[in-house]
Structure 1
């Protein structure tokens, strides 16, 4: 059993802990955080299903006042683990790396950290092999993770030369107030980092993109125009997408009108927190435009990177050295594709 710890019990950290706990060949040693946040208080009310460790000592008295049991310090957790999933705020992970290095532990960092923090910029489907046996991996962002799933899917079946993307990006996660209350759209300078990141993972593809921030919280929508090495028809693209376990093909006529439709459906399914591991892809959006193929995908930003992070554990710890075997195990334990 590979022993795993999660540092940072926020939006991503909570979901990483739940995802690891579902893996039958991994053991979750515990989670570490700084202060008794609402997430930590909810953990206590749920009966402390995970051991809690303190990242720093500054707020220990606050934990004691709330009778929140603490199992030790983050360093003590790190020593018990084979690998750490660092889900702290951007920049904190780079500092924590010193602790992971001190105890010669492996670690996986989330998309907010700089690429230089890791040995490999990692995606489970696109470059699993490059992560095998490495000490430090860094995940792609939520948008890039979902984007690469779709582009890699077509690339492996037919070959892709270039893509042009437009990202309609949710401005903040539910419950975040630091962005302020807005009634406007904001455009970023092109190319977006997701296009640059895609080329880092898949250097044989030319990519460019534009990103637009929107005052919503449930999911991003990305439109993709892809140019294949040969013409890709709608039927060809649809066949590939339907065969991919982490892509859920839907129709507008079935009620999937937009980003909130996916969130509501996941919640109606009883998925914890309304999460969905798969990206949504509208069959109605797949169109041929000249020699190009165009489509639109929905990115559930809070949960989409969890499967690829678990893939990273499998690669870094050499649990499976074959890409398809590794992602298949992750999918099996997370229940991905069970709806097919």
Structure 2
């Protein structure tokens, strides 16, 4: 049983903890943070299902005042685990790395950290084998994670030469106030980092992209124009996407009109927090254009990287040495692909 700790119990950290808790071959030893945030207060009100460790000892009086039980320090948590999932704010993970290295522990960082923090820039489907046995892995960002899922799917089925993407990006997570209330769109300088990151993971594909920030909070939408090595039609693309356990093909005709429809459906399914681990791909968005195939996907930014993080644990700890065996275990424990049997 692989012992796992989660450092940073925020938007991603909460979901990582839940994801690890669902893996039958992993044990969540505990979670760590520095302040009694709303997420920690909610953890206490739920009866402390996860042991809590304190990232800054001088803040303990704040937790004592709220009667939040503290199981120990961050350093003690690190000593108890085999692998750490670092979900702290960008830049903090790189500092925490010194502690993980001190105790010779493996660690997996989220997409906000610089690539230099890790031995391998990792994606479960696209380059699983490169992560085998490595000490430090870094996940791709939420957008890049979902984008690579779809491109890798087409690439393994038909071969992909190049992609051009447009990202319509949510401006902030739900509940974030620091970005302000806006009524505008903002475009970034091309190419977007997601296109560059895709080429880092999949160097045989030429990629470029544009990113537009939008004043919404639930999900990004990415349009992709892919040039495949052999010309394919819509039916062939649909067949490949339809077999993928982390891609859910949906139809506008069925009521999936956009990101809000998907979020509402996830809540109706009873998913905790309305989370979706899978990306959604609209069937009606698949279009043939000469040699190219075009499609649109939805990226549920709060939860989409959780499956690939579980894959990263499996790779770093060499729980499975073969890609499909590893992602298959993750998918099974997270309930991914259930819709394929419906």
Give the TM-score normalised by the residue count of structure 2: 0.99
CA distance in 2 between counterparts of 1:232 and 1:194 reads: 25
- Does 2:324 align with 1:320? no
Give the Cα–Cα distance (whole angstroms) in 2 for the partners of residues 23 and 187 of structure 1. Answer: 39
Following superposition, the deviation at residue 247 of structure 1 comes to: 0.1
**Secondary structure class of the residue paired with 1:307:** helix
Task: Name the counterpart of 1:284.
Answer: 284
Task: Show the counterpart of 2:234.
Answer: 234
1:113 partner SS: coil
Distance in 2 separating the partners of 1:76 and 1:62: 20
Q: What runs of 5+ residues in structure 2 fail to find an aligned partner?
A: none
Q: Aligned pairs, how many?
A: 340
Correspondence 1:159 to 2:132: no
Distance in 1 between residues matched to 2:234 and 2:257, nearest whole Å: 20
C-alpha separation in 1, matches of 2:139 and 2:232: 29
Offset of residue 339 of structure 1: 2.1
Structure 2 counterpart SS, 1:53: strand
1:172 matched to which residue of 2?
172
Q: Secondary structure at the match of 2:338?
A: coil
Is 1:259 matched up with 2:259?
A: yes
CA distance in 2, matches of 1:135, 1:302: 25
Cα distance per residue 1:269-307 (max 9 Å; x no partner)? 000000010000000000001110000000000000000
2:188 matches 1:188: yes
Q: Which residue of 2 aligns with 1:147?
A: 147
Residue of structure 1 in register with 2:335 after alignment? 335
User: Helix, strand or coil: the match of 1:217?
Assistant: coil
Aligned twin of 1:127: 127
- Tell me, which stretches of 5 or more residues in structure 1 are unaligned? none
Write the mapping of 1:44-193 to structure 2, written as runs, cut at 5 A: 44-193=44-193
Q: Distance in 1 between matches of 2:87 and 2:58?
A: 20
Specify the SS of the correspondent of 2:178. coil
1: CA distance between counterparts of 2:7 and 2:97?
11
Work out the CA distance in 2 between the residues paired with 1:32 and 1:291.
50
Residue 230 (structure 1) shift: 1.0
Offset of 1:58 from its aligned partner? 2.8
Give, in whole Å, the separation in 1 of the partners of 2:28 and 2:283.
Answer: 38
Cα shift readout 1:59-101 (whole Å, capped 9, x = no counterpart): 1101000000000000000000000000000000000000000
- State the alpha-carbon separation in 2 of the partners of residues 265 and 328 from structure 1: 25
2: CA distance between counterparts of 1:109 and 1:320? 20
Alpha-carbon distance in 2 for matches of 1:164, 1:275: 28
Deviation at 1:57, TM superposition (A): 1.4
Displacement of 1:138 in angstroms is 0.1
1:188-243 Cα distance to aligned partner (Å, 9 max, x none) = 00000000000000000000000000000000000000001111211110000000
C-alpha displacement of 1:130? 0.1
Once the two structures are TM-superposed, the CA of residue 177 in structure 1 deviates from its matched residue by: 0.5
Q: Secondary structure at the match of 2:137?
A: strand
Q: CA deviation at 1:338?
A: 1.3
Superposition deviation, residue 316 in structure 1: 0.4
Cα distance in 1 for residues equivalent to 2:58 and 2:311:
34
What stretches of structure 1 move > 4 A for 4+ residues in a row? none
TM-score (norm 1): 1.00
SS at match of 1:59: helix
Distance 1:243 1:253 in 2: 21
Is 1:25 the counterpart of 2:25 in the alignment?
A: yes
Which residue is equivalent to 2:201?
201
